[in-house]
Amino acid sequence: MRGGARPAYTERTMPRPAAPPQQIHRLREQQYAAHLSLALLSAGVHAVLLWLSLAGERQNVASLAGAVILSVFMAATVLSRRVPLRVLTGGVAYLLPLWLTVQVVLVGMQGQGIAPEFFLSLAVVGLLALAWLPLNQAAALLLPLTGFMFAAVLLFNPQDLPLMIYTAFLLALMGLLALHGQLVSTERARNLSVQHAAQLDPLTGVLNRQAGWDTLEVATRSPLNAARVAVILVDVDNFGRINDLLRRHAADQVLREVATLLVSMTDRNVSVIRWNGDQFLLILPDVSVAAAHDVADRIVRTSRNLNLPDLNGVPVSVGLAFAAETEDLDALVDLAVQRLHRAQKAGGNRWA
């Protein structure tokens, strides 16, 4: 123990467990697949329209060819994955209204009427803007564009005013649906946040015991995956003495520091759980025996050197068990407990 006055412990916010990387990767892949499908569908539809135009009266050939080129470019950009989806979709959402405006101006300068395709294009632009942009940005983009289209119809095609009014009604309806979807998503996110908070230990910020059991059940649900699951039970040596020495508030801070250490030194797919008092359980999915041994050894060595006021490190005892060694989850945890007790009987500050 270090002599002298005890420095005051300061509260530190424990990092919350992030979403599992598998879920993040799956969501990202789904987003890429959706945007690629949209780009390919757009390319196919505009290619067919271009072919029909070339075979018929050759109207809007330039605009249709531009749409095909833009769709193919977007598909190639999505496949290359060199541009973040947010940048790509935002850029397209702002370029499409500009493209539509230029096409309407060119048609008007040539003395031609505004074809029905332009009203459909306005609806598509509105749909994409509402899907890809924040609602306020989409509204700021679509309101001037709709006003411009109204003016163009009144100037070049007064007889199509009812069609323009109906298109504006569709845009307003899509805006209301987007607002409703945003409210539903916000409420769902709030509910998920509450559920997530209920899974956390209020002192350390890691998963609580019930959430730990649920995580362990999911990790071992498949026999193939369960064969490579390991659990590590960590117990702070002589925590009762630490509690008497530092008093409860500072001893709680020791638990926070240990939890922070366990989270920071393990991979993001490793679940850290406050299991019981001064015990923490780590769930290691898809891990080899050698890798699990290395994690247990590093926990002991790193905790031993944890620099805290009034403490020369925080020695811990560790019990390591593999799901392949047992028949069920209770037996798996019991085996980790037995090996933890073996490490403690051997003097602590080690793993077994």
Q: Model confidence over 79-132: pLDDT tens digits?
A: 888 878 778 778 878 888 888 888 788 877 777 777 777 888 888 888 888 877
Q: How far apart are CA 61 and CA 58, in angstroms?
A: 6
When pLDDT is cut at 50, 70 and 90, the band that residue 25 belongs to is low
DSSP string for 60-84: SHHHHHHHHHHHHHHHHHHHHT-S-
Neighbour-count burial for 197-233, b at 16+ CB within 10 Å, e otherwise: eebbbeebbbbbeebbbebbeebbeeeeebebbbbbb
Domain ranges of the chain: 21-198, 209-345
| Bridge partners of residue 312, in order along the sequence | 307
Answer whether 117's CB lies under 8 Å from 123's CB: no
Q: How far apart are CA 70 and CA 39, in angstroms?
A: 9
Q: What per-residue confidence (pLDDT) applies to 109?
A: 79
Q: Model confidence over 246-296: pLDDT tens digits?
A: 776 677 888 998 999 999 888 888 999 999 889 999 999 889 999 999 999
Q: What per-residue confidence (pLDDT) applies to 193?
A: 62
At residue 11, does pLDDT exceed 70? no
CATH class of 209-345: alpha beta
Q: What per-residue confidence (pLDDT) applies to 296?
A: 93
Residue 77: CB partners within 8 Å, gap ≥ 6? Answer: 83, 88
| 182 token code pair | 């945003």
| Bridge partners of residue 272, in order along the sequence | 282
| Number of residues in the chain | 352
Answer whether 77's CB lies under 8 Å from 38's CB: no
Q: Write down the pTM of the prediction.
A: 0.53
When pLDDT is cut at 50, 70 and 90, the band that residue 192 belongs to is low
Cα separations (Å) of 8 from 246, 250, 253? 10, 8, 11
